[in-house]
Structure 1
């Protein structure tokens, strides 16, 4: 949850230049699988879309102000973006312009924050404040 709080701070800080969305994928530490001792919720492996949506609603409650969507049960978004289970991306005009490392080890919210800071500076220097990523 600490990572989610840090993400939320970056989202709030950059809401004027970037739209953000969280994609809830399959549960990384299901209660009936590889259990994490510090998990704030006990969520079993999703057996149907409704269970995944229910878990996504829990995430939405932890990240107010940021839309949350859920991956399909075939995990197509997770596979396409190689999230497994935390990963940060910036897309601009349909292209990936920033891809963070695969989590949990490669997940670095500071890298995303720094990328957005540089983007903001480019907007200022170009005299444009209406470009959104």
Structure 2
């Protein structure tokens, strides 16, 4: 399950990164294009309160991560091209990693590789400062 894999990354790299989930429109609403493996039955969001309720469920699935909600005109979804899941790394207000569009191009392994390299860089910088 992708959410479980994401949660493992959150736990493993919480010391070097802050994680944020932007909850967007429901990809497989229970009153629309239903997915047989969906852990929750969530109807199409008709108002912001519907989306907030659904996001509260997401919060229980990714402890250690902050969860925010896209507005009803889906501007974050459109701006970041999530449709319906996508991974980004933002460092110093710059996108330094943009994963492929999900579900086909969603690669949690790429996110993990980037974070592993970043951790090595941080450790290298710390060791250089300690040896000066």
Secondary structure (helix, strand or coil) at the match of 1:119 reads helix
Structure with the higher helix share, 1 or 2: 2
Q: Which residue of 2 aligns with 1:102?
A: 101
Please provide the CA RMSD for this pair.
0.9
Between the aligned partners of 2:58 and 2:10, the Cα distance in structure 1 is 15
Cα deviation for residue 126 of structure 1 reads: 1.7
Instruction: Map residues 1-133 of structure 1 onto 2, 5 A cutoff.
Output: 2-127=1-126
Larger Rg: 2
How high is the TM-score relative to the length of structure 1? 0.92
TM-score (norm 2): 0.93
Q: Where do 5+ consecutive residues of structure 1 fail to align?
A: 129-133
Structure 2 gap segments, 5+ residues each: 128-132
Poorly superposed stretches of 4+, deviation over 2 Å:
none
For the residues of structure 2 that align with 1:14 and 1:109, how far apart are their CA atoms? 13
List per-residue Cα deviations over 1:108-132 (Å, max 9, x = no partner).
101000000001111111227xxxx
Alignment partners' CA distance in 2, 1:64 and 1:99: 23
By how many angstroms is 1:61 displaced? 0.9
